[in-house]
Structures are given as C-alpha cells and as structure tokens.
Amino acid sequence: MFDSNNPQRTPISELGEFGLIDHLVKNSKSKLMNTALAIGDDAGLIDQGAYFTAITTDLLVEGVHFDLSYMPLKHLGYKSIVVNLSDIYAMNGTAEHITVGIAVSNRFSVEALEEIYEGINLACERYNVDLIGGDTTSSTSGLMISITATGRVEKGKATMRSGAKDNDLIVVSGDIGGAYMGLQILEREKEVFIENPDMQPELGGHEYILERQLKPEARKDIVELLHNLKVHPTSMIDISDGLSSEIIHLSKASKHQFNVYENKIPIDPSIYTLCEEFNMNTTTVALNGGEDYELLFTVPIEDHVKIKANPNLSVIGYVKEGSGANLITREDNLIELQAKGFKHNL
Ligand code: ADP
Ligand code: MG
C-alpha cells in the first residue's frame, strides 16, 4: 500500500509484534479523566468511581491462530472466550460481559456457526459471563473471531504488569508447555493424514496436552484462590505468548530484574517423554511454547508461607533491583531470556 505522505516502506517484520504496537500507538494520548490504565497491560482500566472496569480484545484468525482441520468448531468458540477472560483474570478481576465479532465466508453453514456458539455459550456458562452484543459480517478469506471482554476489578486490587518489587517471588499457576506439545501432536497427525488419508490419527494417550491446546481454561480459580489466601500479587500477566516473553514483559514494566530457576518451572511429566520423541528441549518448550493461559505473578516474600504448600502454584524465581530477565540453569549458569514467543510469525 502506498501512502502519499510517507513514501518510505518499512516491512512489519522489522518492528515485530510489540514494536509495531508501540509504534502505532505512540501518538495516542489519553484525554479522559476516567482512563485509569491504557495500552500496555493485559486489559485497560476505566475508573468507575467505586471500582474499575477492565476491558480487553483478542482477534483469532483462521490459518494463523487456529486450523479447522483439527480444531472442532465448538472448541474454537470456547477457546475464543477463554483467551479473553484470561486477560481479565490477569488484572485480578471478575469477568462479566463479552461481545462477539465474527467474519465468516459462505463455505460455513448455519450449523457450523451454531457449533461455534455452543462453545461460546458453554464458556459463558462456566465462567459466569453474559454475551451482550457483537457484529456479524462476511469474509473473503477464512473465519475470524474477535471477542471483547469486560470485567470488574476492585480498587486497590488491580494487578498491573508494573508493580513487582525488590525481593518479590515469581509464581506461576498450573504447568506449562502442554498447549505447545498438544499442537505438535496435532500438526504431526495432520501431516500423516495429508500423506495417507486412510491412516487414523494417533491421539490416544495425549488427552491432557490436546485439551491444553484445544480446550484451554482461564484461571478464574487462581484469582479466587489468591483472594481467599489473602495474597495480593504485586504484578500479574497471563501466559499467552510464552513464559519467557511474559517474564520479560513483567521485568520491563516493573523496571526490575527477574531471575527464574530452570529446575523450578512446572512441567507435566508427559511432556518430558514427548520432548524426547520430538527431539525438543523441555525447557525451550516451557519458555517459548505459549498458549497455556496460566497466570504468572509476583508476591511479596512474606506471602511465601501462604502459597508454598499449594499444588496449583509454583515459586519459580525472584525479583531484584536492576533490569533484564534471566534463566538460572540446572548447572547454575545465568542465561538472559529471549522473547522468542512472538505470536504467529508477526
Ligand atoms: P495480550 O497478549 O495480553 O492480549 P498483547 O500482547 O496482544 O496483549 O497486547 C499488548 C498491549 O497492546 C495490550 O495492552 C493491548 O491492548 C495493546 N494493543 C495491541 N494491539 C493494539 C492495537 N492495534 N492498538 C492499540 N493497542 C493495542
Ligand atoms: Mg495477556
């Protein structure tokens, strides 16, 4: 596309996803008194007086974020909601409302769209959110789903990416790397099918990681757990792009150094065997895999006693003054983390 005001043509790849966002929004300044938090966190915050409203949008594009040859439509509907709600929980909020924008080509039937909505409705039921609007249009190239979610965050409880302090502990919920390995299995079986359509896909025994990829859950339960334990994270983010990339986000936003122990990263045992089979490094998968939708947060060291026995939470490292994000390897070497988790080739 030629822009007459600017004959220069910069490829998007030169900036990367986050560089591009920074570049595009650099001239956008908040004017309204009630804009409490704008671009740069998991959700924006609007000051409603007694509380904040959190608001977030995600766009899922066929062929980029999902492949309909192995993604059942009902799961797609479900996942599209979950990935948005995850951003509301990352602000320590309660998700409340969603709108759904959908662009669809004429290769989809009404029944196919009904399946997507079955998944959307199921997620709304499970997470107690209401669908309050959206938009429907045609598409010339595949299916696109854009969801906006809003939530309510108590004042004083919002967890921004920028709040981590010296000596805080770095904590992650659940386990990570599963969604990525689930995708590897699905891609492998797709290849086999393309070469030999008579072969049945071998998915047995991989239920856990397939579910992590096809039907992830957002960690509403962790937000509630932390509330019940009276633990207030100093910063929080959800793991969509990969642990490494999210740690770097927290470190940059909080202007502190983040150090993570390789041997403390929670990984499901099945992933070790699978990584051997695929000739992949388990730590690399855990750091760069993405799409696990777990919560990554920091807590004051005093809260360690409240969380240490909980099987859903793993302390993986610590925060200190300084900058940068490092992995402390099993051999006790310090390696700087790289943000390899750039989403989908951008
Ligand atoms: P997340 O992975 O939590 O959804 P992203 O990495 O997609 O967050 O986005 C980072 C930040 O940039 C968020 O605050 C998001 O709202 C904002 N953002 C992303 N794309 C745009 C855009 N095109 N215009 C304005 N803000 C954007
Ligand atoms: Mg997020």
Please give the pLDDT value at position 228: 96
Q: Tell me the C-alpha distance between 290 and 37, whole Å.
A: 25
Whether 258 and 150 have beta carbons less than 8 Å apart is answered as no
pLDDT of 344 over the 50 cut? no
pLDDT digits (tens, 9 = 90+) for 308-318: 989 999 999 99
At what angle are helices 73-89 and 110-127 packed, to 10 degrees?
Answer: 30
Q: Tell me the C-alpha distance between 236 and 126, whole Å.
A: 23
Q: Is 194 in the pocket of ligand 1 (CB under 6 A)?
A: no
Provide the residue ranges of all domains of the chain, joining segments of one domain with +: 16-154, 169-336
Domain 16-154 annotated CATH 3.30.1330.10? yes
pLDDT digits (tens, 9 = 90+) for 174-189: 999 999 999 999 998 8
pLDDT digits (tens, 9 = 90+) for 119-146: 999 999 999 999 999 999 999 989 999 9
Q: Is 41 in the pocket of ligand 1 (CB under 6 A)?
A: yes
Binned at pLDDT 50, 70 and 90, residue 33 comes out as very high
- Which among 15, 17, 21, 239 is the best mutation to test ligand 1's pocket, defined by most ligand atoms within 8 Å of the CB? 21
At what angle are helices 269-278 and 178-195 packed, to 10 degrees?
Answer: 40
Strand 325-328 with 257-261, pairing: parallel
pLDDT of 341 over the 50 cut? no
What number does CATH give the domain 169-336?
Answer: 3.90.650.10
Q: Is 21 in the pocket of ligand 1 (CB under 6 A)?
A: yes
The CA 58 to ligand 2 mean position distance, Å, reads: 9
More confident residue, 170 or 345: 170
Whether 167 and 321 have beta carbons less than 8 Å apart is answered as no
DSSP single-letter state for residue 122 = H
Helical ranges in the chain per DSSP H = 16-25, 73-89, 110-127, 178-195, 207-214, 220-228, 243-254, 269-278, 282-288, 304-307
Whether the CA torsion 102, 104, 108, 110 is positive or negative: it is positive
